[in-house]
Protein backbone atom coordinates (compact mmCIF):
# COMPACT_ATOMS: atom_id res chain seq x y z
CA UNK A 1 0.00 0.00 0.00
CA UNK A 2 1.47 3.33 -0.99
CA UNK A 3 1.16 6.25 1.39
CA UNK A 4 -0.37 8.50 -1.20
CA UNK A 5 -3.66 7.46 -2.71
CA UNK A 6 -5.70 9.40 -5.23
CA UNK A 7 -9.22 9.96 -3.84
CA UNK A 8 -8.63 7.86 -0.74
CA UNK A 9 -11.66 9.55 0.83
CA UNK A 10 -13.97 8.49 -1.96
CA UNK A 11 -12.68 4.92 -1.99
CA UNK A 12 -12.95 4.63 1.79
CA UNK A 13 -16.55 5.84 1.67
CA UNK A 14 -17.36 3.42 -1.16
CA UNK A 15 -15.69 0.48 0.60
CA UNK A 16 -17.45 1.28 3.86
CA UNK A 17 -20.85 1.36 2.19
CA UNK A 18 -20.20 -1.97 0.47
CA UNK A 19 -19.10 -3.64 3.69
CA UNK A 20 -21.96 -2.18 5.76
CA UNK A 21 -24.45 -3.46 3.17
CA UNK A 22 -22.82 -6.89 2.97
CA UNK A 23 -22.30 -7.62 6.68
CA UNK A 24 -24.27 -5.07 8.66
CA UNK A 25 -22.80 -1.95 10.22
CA UNK A 26 -21.85 -3.54 13.55
CA UNK A 27 -19.88 -6.35 11.91
CA UNK A 28 -17.46 -4.04 10.08
CA UNK A 29 -14.23 -2.53 11.48
CA UNK A 30 -12.32 0.53 10.32
CA UNK A 31 -9.37 -1.77 9.55
CA UNK A 32 -11.52 -3.82 7.18
CA UNK A 33 -12.79 -0.71 5.42
CA UNK A 34 -9.22 0.52 4.98
CA UNK A 35 -8.13 -2.87 3.68
CA UNK A 36 -10.83 -2.99 1.03
CA UNK A 37 -10.01 0.57 -0.02
CA UNK A 38 -6.32 -0.37 -0.30
CA UNK A 39 -5.11 2.13 2.30
CA UNK A 40 -3.82 1.87 5.86
CA UNK A 41 -6.05 2.09 8.91
CA UNK A 42 -4.18 5.27 9.77
CA UNK A 43 -5.34 6.79 6.49
CA UNK A 44 -8.91 5.89 7.40
CA UNK A 45 -8.59 7.85 10.63
CA UNK A 46 -7.09 10.80 8.79
CA UNK A 47 -10.47 11.22 7.03
CA UNK A 48 -12.98 9.92 9.57
CA UNK A 49 -13.08 10.01 13.37
CA UNK A 50 -14.92 6.67 13.42
CA UNK A 51 -16.84 4.36 11.09
CA UNK A 52 -20.14 6.09 11.91
CA UNK A 53 -18.74 9.34 10.55
CA UNK A 54 -18.49 7.77 7.07
CA UNK A 55 -22.28 7.94 6.98
CA UNK A 56 -22.59 11.46 8.36
CA UNK A 57 -19.81 13.47 6.78
CA UNK A 58 -22.17 15.28 4.41
CA UNK A 59 -24.31 16.64 7.21
CA UNK A 60 -21.93 19.54 7.82
CA UNK A 61 -22.10 20.61 4.18
CA UNK A 62 -25.88 20.33 4.36
CA UNK A 63 -25.99 22.54 7.45
CA UNK A 64 -23.66 25.13 5.98
CA UNK A 65 -25.72 25.40 2.81
CA UNK A 66 -29.01 25.65 4.71
CA UNK A 67 -27.65 28.39 6.97
CA UNK A 68 -25.98 30.38 4.18
CA UNK A 69 -29.17 30.17 2.11
CA UNK A 70 -31.37 31.42 4.95
CA UNK A 71 -28.88 34.22 5.68
CA UNK A 72 -28.93 35.35 2.06
CA UNK A 73 -32.66 34.96 1.45
CA UNK A 74 -34.60 37.95 0.18
CA UNK A 75 -35.49 40.28 3.06
CA UNK A 76 -39.16 40.04 2.11
CA UNK A 77 -39.24 36.23 2.27
CA UNK A 78 -41.33 34.77 5.10
CA UNK A 79 -39.74 32.28 7.53
CA UNK A 80 -41.12 29.14 5.87
CA UNK A 81 -40.21 30.45 2.43
CA UNK A 82 -36.67 31.21 3.54
CA UNK A 83 -36.20 27.82 5.17
CA UNK A 84 -37.93 25.89 2.38
CA UNK A 85 -35.79 27.55 -0.29
CA UNK A 86 -32.71 26.86 1.82
CA UNK A 87 -33.45 23.14 1.92
CA UNK A 88 -34.07 23.14 -1.83
CA UNK A 89 -30.68 24.80 -2.32
CA UNK A 90 -28.98 22.38 0.08
CA UNK A 91 -30.34 19.44 -1.92
CA UNK A 92 -27.35 19.95 -4.22
CA UNK A 93 -25.16 18.23 -1.58
CA UNK A 94 -26.99 14.96 -2.21
CA UNK A 95 -28.29 15.46 -5.74
CA UNK A 96 -27.01 12.93 -8.27
CA UNK A 97 -26.24 10.38 -5.55
CA UNK A 98 -29.61 8.75 -5.18
CA UNK A 99 -28.26 5.20 -5.09
CA UNK A 100 -25.81 6.17 -2.37
CA UNK A 101 -28.56 7.90 -0.39
CA UNK A 102 -30.78 4.85 -0.73
CA UNK A 103 -28.07 2.49 0.48
CA UNK A 104 -27.23 4.84 3.34
CA UNK A 105 -30.88 5.04 4.41
CA UNK A 106 -31.15 1.24 4.47
CA UNK A 107 -28.03 0.96 6.65
CA UNK A 108 -29.24 3.65 9.06
CA UNK A 109 -32.75 2.21 9.32
CA UNK A 110 -31.34 -1.16 10.33
CA UNK A 111 -29.26 0.17 13.25
CA UNK A 112 -30.74 1.90 16.34
CA UNK A 113 -27.56 3.79 17.25
CA UNK A 114 -27.32 5.16 13.70
CA UNK A 115 -30.98 6.16 13.78
CA UNK A 116 -30.24 8.06 17.00
CA UNK A 117 -27.32 9.85 15.42
CA UNK A 118 -29.46 10.76 12.42
CA UNK A 119 -32.11 12.23 14.74
CA UNK A 120 -29.44 14.25 16.55
CA UNK A 121 -28.10 15.61 13.27
CA UNK A 122 -31.62 16.53 12.12
CA UNK A 123 -32.28 18.27 15.44
CA UNK A 124 -29.03 20.20 15.00
CA UNK A 125 -30.11 21.21 11.49
CA UNK A 126 -33.47 22.44 12.83
CA UNK A 127 -31.70 24.42 15.57
CA UNK A 128 -29.22 25.94 13.08
CA UNK A 129 -32.12 26.93 10.80
CA UNK A 130 -33.95 28.54 13.74
CA UNK A 131 -30.81 30.50 14.69
CA UNK A 132 -30.44 31.75 11.12
CA UNK A 133 -34.10 32.82 11.11
CA UNK A 134 -33.61 34.70 14.39
CA UNK A 135 -30.82 36.64 12.72
CA UNK A 136 -33.53 37.77 10.27
CA UNK A 137 -35.53 39.02 13.27
CA UNK A 138 -38.02 36.19 13.14
CA UNK A 139 -39.38 35.86 16.71
CA UNK A 140 -38.13 32.89 18.74
CA UNK A 141 -41.26 30.73 18.61
CA UNK A 142 -41.86 31.21 14.88
CA UNK A 143 -38.17 30.61 14.16
CA UNK A 144 -38.17 27.29 16.00
CA UNK A 145 -41.42 26.18 14.43
CA UNK A 146 -40.22 27.07 10.92
CA UNK A 147 -36.87 25.35 11.58
CA UNK A 148 -38.66 22.14 12.62
CA UNK A 149 -41.08 22.42 9.70
CA UNK A 150 -38.11 22.77 7.33
CA UNK A 151 -36.61 19.52 8.58
CA UNK A 152 -39.99 17.79 8.28
CA UNK A 153 -40.25 19.03 4.68
CA UNK A 154 -36.70 17.89 3.90
CA UNK A 155 -37.35 14.45 5.40
CA UNK A 156 -40.57 14.05 3.43
CA UNK A 157 -38.91 15.18 0.21
CA UNK A 158 -35.94 12.93 0.82
CA UNK A 159 -38.11 9.87 1.50
CA UNK A 160 -40.04 10.51 -1.66
CA UNK A 161 -36.82 10.98 -3.64
CA UNK A 162 -35.28 7.67 -2.51
CA UNK A 163 -38.60 5.90 -3.02
CA UNK A 164 -39.50 4.10 -6.21
CA UNK A 165 -41.96 6.61 -7.56
CA UNK A 166 -39.95 9.86 -7.51
CA UNK A 167 -40.32 11.63 -10.81
CA UNK A 168 -37.90 14.49 -10.21
CA UNK A 169 -34.64 15.27 -8.45
CA UNK A 170 -34.28 15.87 -4.72
CA UNK A 171 -34.84 19.62 -5.05
CA UNK A 172 -38.13 18.97 -6.85
CA UNK A 173 -39.19 16.43 -4.21
CA UNK A 174 -38.48 18.92 -1.40
CA UNK A 175 -40.43 21.57 -3.30
CA UNK A 176 -43.38 19.18 -3.56
CA UNK A 177 -43.21 18.38 0.18
CA UNK A 178 -43.21 22.12 0.94
CA UNK A 179 -46.29 22.56 -1.24
CA UNK A 180 -47.86 19.58 0.50
CA UNK A 181 -47.25 21.11 3.93
CA UNK A 182 -48.83 24.36 2.72
CA UNK A 183 -51.79 22.34 1.48
CA UNK A 184 -52.15 20.47 4.79
CA UNK A 185 -51.98 23.75 6.70
CA UNK A 186 -54.54 25.46 4.47
CA UNK A 187 -56.99 22.57 4.84
CA UNK A 188 -59.46 23.77 7.48
CA UNK B 1 -38.94 1.55 56.05
CA UNK B 2 -42.23 -0.23 55.71
CA UNK B 3 -42.91 -2.38 52.69
CA UNK B 4 -46.15 -0.66 51.87
CA UNK B 5 -45.98 3.01 51.00
CA UNK B 6 -48.86 5.21 49.95
CA UNK B 7 -48.04 6.87 46.62
CA UNK B 8 -44.50 5.51 46.49
CA UNK B 9 -44.48 6.28 42.76
CA UNK B 10 -45.25 9.96 43.32
CA UNK B 11 -42.70 10.31 46.08
CA UNK B 12 -40.02 8.55 44.04
CA UNK B 13 -40.66 10.88 41.12
CA UNK B 14 -40.58 13.93 43.40
CA UNK B 15 -37.36 12.81 45.13
CA UNK B 16 -35.70 12.04 41.81
CA UNK B 17 -36.51 15.49 40.44
CA UNK B 18 -35.16 17.18 43.55
CA UNK B 19 -31.93 15.21 43.47
CA UNK B 20 -31.43 15.68 39.70
CA UNK B 21 -31.88 19.44 40.14
CA UNK B 22 -29.57 19.61 43.17
CA UNK B 23 -26.67 17.47 41.93
CA UNK B 24 -27.13 16.91 38.22
CA UNK B 25 -28.63 13.79 36.66
CA UNK B 26 -25.36 11.86 36.34
CA UNK B 27 -24.49 12.30 40.02
CA UNK B 28 -27.65 10.62 41.35
CA UNK B 29 -28.19 6.88 41.87
CA UNK B 30 -31.43 4.93 42.11
CA UNK B 31 -30.48 3.99 45.69
CA UNK B 32 -30.27 7.68 46.65
CA UNK B 33 -33.62 8.43 45.07
CA UNK B 34 -35.18 5.54 46.99
CA UNK B 35 -33.56 6.67 50.23
CA UNK B 36 -34.92 10.20 49.94
CA UNK B 37 -38.38 8.84 49.11
CA UNK B 38 -38.18 6.59 52.16
CA UNK B 39 -38.52 3.33 50.23
CA UNK B 40 -36.16 0.50 49.33
CA UNK B 41 -34.14 0.44 46.11
CA UNK B 42 -36.18 -2.62 45.17
CA UNK B 43 -39.33 -0.53 45.36
CA UNK B 44 -37.71 2.00 43.01
CA UNK B 45 -37.16 -0.73 40.45
CA UNK B 46 -40.72 -1.94 40.83
CA UNK B 47 -41.84 1.39 39.34
CA UNK B 48 -38.97 2.38 37.02
CA UNK B 49 -36.58 0.35 34.89
CA UNK B 50 -33.83 2.93 35.45
CA UNK B 51 -33.42 6.49 36.68
CA UNK B 52 -33.89 7.89 33.17
CA UNK B 53 -37.34 6.37 33.06
CA UNK B 54 -38.44 8.65 35.91
CA UNK B 55 -38.28 11.49 33.38
CA UNK B 56 -40.01 9.66 30.54
CA UNK B 57 -42.80 7.69 32.13
CA UNK B 58 -45.49 10.07 30.85
CA UNK B 59 -44.50 9.63 27.23
CA UNK B 60 -46.53 6.45 26.88
CA UNK B 61 -49.67 8.15 28.14
CA UNK B 62 -48.98 11.02 25.73
CA UNK B 63 -48.63 8.60 22.81
CA UNK B 64 -51.78 6.68 23.71
CA UNK B 65 -53.85 9.83 23.91
CA UNK B 66 -52.48 11.21 20.64
CA UNK B 67 -53.20 7.95 18.83
CA UNK B 68 -56.68 7.45 20.32
CA UNK B 69 -57.57 11.06 19.47
CA UNK B 70 -56.46 10.70 15.85
CA UNK B 71 -58.33 7.41 15.57
CA UNK B 72 -61.53 8.99 16.87
CA UNK B 73 -61.25 12.29 14.97
CA UNK B 74 -64.17 13.32 12.76
CA UNK B 75 -63.98 11.58 9.39
CA UNK B 76 -64.05 14.95 7.65
CA UNK B 77 -61.06 16.35 9.58
CA UNK B 78 -57.94 16.94 7.50
CA UNK B 79 -54.64 15.31 8.58
CA UNK B 80 -53.21 18.42 10.27
CA UNK B 81 -56.52 19.11 12.00
CA UNK B 82 -56.71 15.55 13.28
CA UNK B 83 -53.13 15.57 14.54
CA UNK B 84 -53.32 19.12 15.96
CA UNK B 85 -56.52 18.33 17.87
CA UNK B 86 -54.93 15.11 19.11
CA UNK B 87 -51.98 17.00 20.61
CA UNK B 88 -54.35 19.49 22.20
CA UNK B 89 -56.26 16.59 23.77
CA UNK B 90 -53.02 14.91 24.90
CA UNK B 91 -51.97 18.11 26.67
CA UNK B 92 -54.13 16.91 29.57
CA UNK B 93 -51.34 14.46 30.51
CA UNK B 94 -49.09 17.40 31.42
CA UNK B 95 -51.64 20.11 32.19
CA UNK B 96 -51.48 21.45 35.73
CA UNK B 97 -47.87 20.34 36.19
CA UNK B 98 -46.08 23.31 34.68
CA UNK B 99 -43.46 23.56 37.42
CA UNK B 100 -42.67 19.87 37.04
CA UNK B 101 -42.44 20.22 33.25
CA UNK B 102 -40.14 23.21 33.62
CA UNK B 103 -37.83 21.40 36.02
CA UNK B 104 -37.83 18.35 33.77
CA UNK B 105 -36.94 20.44 30.71
CA UNK B 106 -33.99 22.01 32.55
CA UNK B 107 -32.66 18.58 33.57
CA UNK B 108 -33.02 17.19 30.05
CA UNK B 109 -31.42 20.22 28.41
CA UNK B 110 -28.35 19.84 30.60
CA UNK B 111 -27.67 16.22 29.68
CA UNK B 112 -26.84 15.02 26.13
CA UNK B 113 -27.99 11.43 26.70
CA UNK B 114 -31.35 12.66 28.01
CA UNK B 115 -31.71 15.01 25.03
CA UNK B 116 -31.11 11.99 22.79
CA UNK B 117 -33.77 9.97 24.57
CA UNK B 118 -36.20 12.89 24.28
CA UNK B 119 -35.56 13.07 20.53
CA UNK B 120 -36.17 9.34 20.20
CA UNK B 121 -39.45 9.62 22.10
CA UNK B 122 -40.54 12.54 19.92
CA UNK B 123 -39.63 10.59 16.77
CA UNK B 124 -41.69 7.66 18.08
CA UNK B 125 -44.63 10.01 18.70
CA UNK B 126 -44.36 11.35 15.14
CA UNK B 127 -44.25 7.81 13.76
CA UNK B 128 -47.25 6.73 15.87
CA UNK B 129 -49.19 9.78 14.66
CA UNK B 130 -48.34 8.97 11.05
CA UNK B 131 -49.50 5.37 11.51
CA UNK B 132 -52.80 6.55 12.98
CA UNK B 133 -53.27 8.93 10.03
CA UNK B 134 -52.61 6.09 7.59
CA UNK B 135 -55.43 4.16 9.25
CA UNK B 136 -57.61 7.12 8.19
CA UNK B 137 -56.41 6.53 4.61
CA UNK B 138 -54.12 9.53 4.57
CA UNK B 139 -51.43 8.75 1.96
CA UNK B 140 -47.98 7.80 3.29
CA UNK B 141 -46.13 11.05 2.50
CA UNK B 142 -48.85 13.33 3.86
CA UNK B 143 -49.22 11.15 6.96
CA UNK B 144 -45.53 11.39 7.79
CA UNK B 145 -45.40 15.11 7.09
CA UNK B 146 -48.46 15.78 9.27
CA UNK B 147 -47.05 13.52 12.02
CA UNK B 148 -43.79 15.49 12.03
CA UNK B 149 -45.66 18.80 11.87
CA UNK B 150 -47.75 17.72 14.87
CA UNK B 151 -44.62 17.10 16.94
CA UNK B 152 -43.19 20.47 15.85
CA UNK B 153 -46.44 22.16 16.93
CA UNK B 154 -46.42 20.33 20.27
CA UNK B 155 -42.79 21.28 20.91
CA UNK B 156 -43.45 24.92 20.08
CA UNK B 157 -46.56 25.00 22.27
CA UNK B 158 -44.75 23.24 25.10
CA UNK B 159 -41.79 25.66 24.97
CA UNK B 160 -44.14 28.60 25.06
CA UNK B 161 -46.08 27.06 27.97
CA UNK B 162 -42.99 26.51 30.14
CA UNK B 163 -41.67 29.97 29.22
CA UNK B 164 -42.30 33.04 31.32
CA UNK B 165 -44.84 34.68 29.10
CA UNK B 166 -47.43 31.94 28.59
CA UNK B 167 -50.89 33.36 29.16
CA UNK B 168 -52.89 30.13 28.86
CA UNK B 169 -52.64 26.45 29.62
CA UNK B 170 -50.73 23.91 27.53
CA UNK B 171 -53.73 23.13 25.33
CA UNK B 172 -54.07 26.83 24.50
CA UNK B 173 -50.33 27.14 23.77
CA UNK B 174 -50.47 24.15 21.39
CA UNK B 175 -53.52 25.69 19.71
CA UNK B 176 -51.58 28.93 19.22
CA UNK B 177 -48.60 27.06 17.76
CA UNK B 178 -50.92 25.26 15.34
CA UNK B 179 -52.38 28.61 14.26
CA UNK B 180 -48.84 29.96 13.92
CA UNK B 181 -47.83 27.07 11.66
CA UNK B 182 -50.92 27.71 9.51
CA UNK B 183 -49.92 31.37 9.36
CA UNK B 184 -46.33 30.55 8.38
CA UNK B 185 -47.58 28.17 5.68
CA UNK B 186 -50.05 30.69 4.28
CA UNK B 187 -47.38 33.43 4.09
CA UNK B 188 -46.30 33.41 0.41
Interchain proximity A141–B148, CB inside 8 Å: no
Position B168 scores a pLDDT of 87
For every one of its 188 residues, what pLDDT tens digit does chain B have, with 9 covering 90 and above? 445 556 889 899 999 999 999 999 999 999 999 999 999 999 999 999 999 999 998 888 999 999 999 999 999 999 999 999 999 999 999 998 898 899 999 999 999 889 999 999 999 999 999 999 999 999 999 999 999 999 999 999 999 999 977 778 999 999 999 999 999 998 75
- DSSP tag of B48: -
Residues of chain B positioned with their CB less than 8 A from the CB of A80: 184-185, 187
Q: Tell whether B117 lies on the interface with A, counting CB pairs under 8 A.
A: no
Predicted-assembly ipTM surpassing the 0.90 threshold: no
How far apart are alpha carbons A30 and A66 in whole angstroms?
31
How far apart are alpha carbons A181 and A174 in whole angstroms?
10
In sequence order, what are the residues at sequence separation of 6 or more whose Cβ sits closer than 8 angstroms to the Cβ of residue B127?
A: B147
Closest CA to A83 of B179, B184, B126, B142: B184
Q: Tell whether A184 lies on the interface with B, counting CB pairs under 8 A.
A: yes
CB B45: neighbour CB atoms within 10 A?
Answer: 13
Interface A–B counts its CB contacts (< 8 A) at: 97
CB nearest to A148's CB, from B116, B155, B186: B155
Q: Record the pTM.
A: 0.89
**Shortest Cα–Cα distance, B43 to chain A (Å):** 30
For every one of its 188 residues, what pLDDT tens digit does chain A have, with 9 covering 90 and above? 445 556 889 899 999 999 999 999 999 999 999 999 999 999 999 999 999 999 998 888 999 999 999 999 999 999 999 999 999 999 999 998 898 899 999 999 999 889 999 999 999 999 999 999 999 999 999 999 999 999 999 999 999 999 977 778 999 999 999 999 999 998 75
Length of chain B: 188
How far apart are alpha carbons B55 and B66 in whole angstroms?
19
**Chain B residue closest in CA terms to A84:** B185
Residues of chain A positioned with their CB less than 8 A from the CB of B146: 184
Amino acid sequence: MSRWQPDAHGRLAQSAMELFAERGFDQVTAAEIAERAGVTERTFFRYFTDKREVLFDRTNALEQLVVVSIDSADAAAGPLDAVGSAWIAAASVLEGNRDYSRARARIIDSNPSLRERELLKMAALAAASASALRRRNVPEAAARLAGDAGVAVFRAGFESWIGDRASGDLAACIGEALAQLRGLAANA
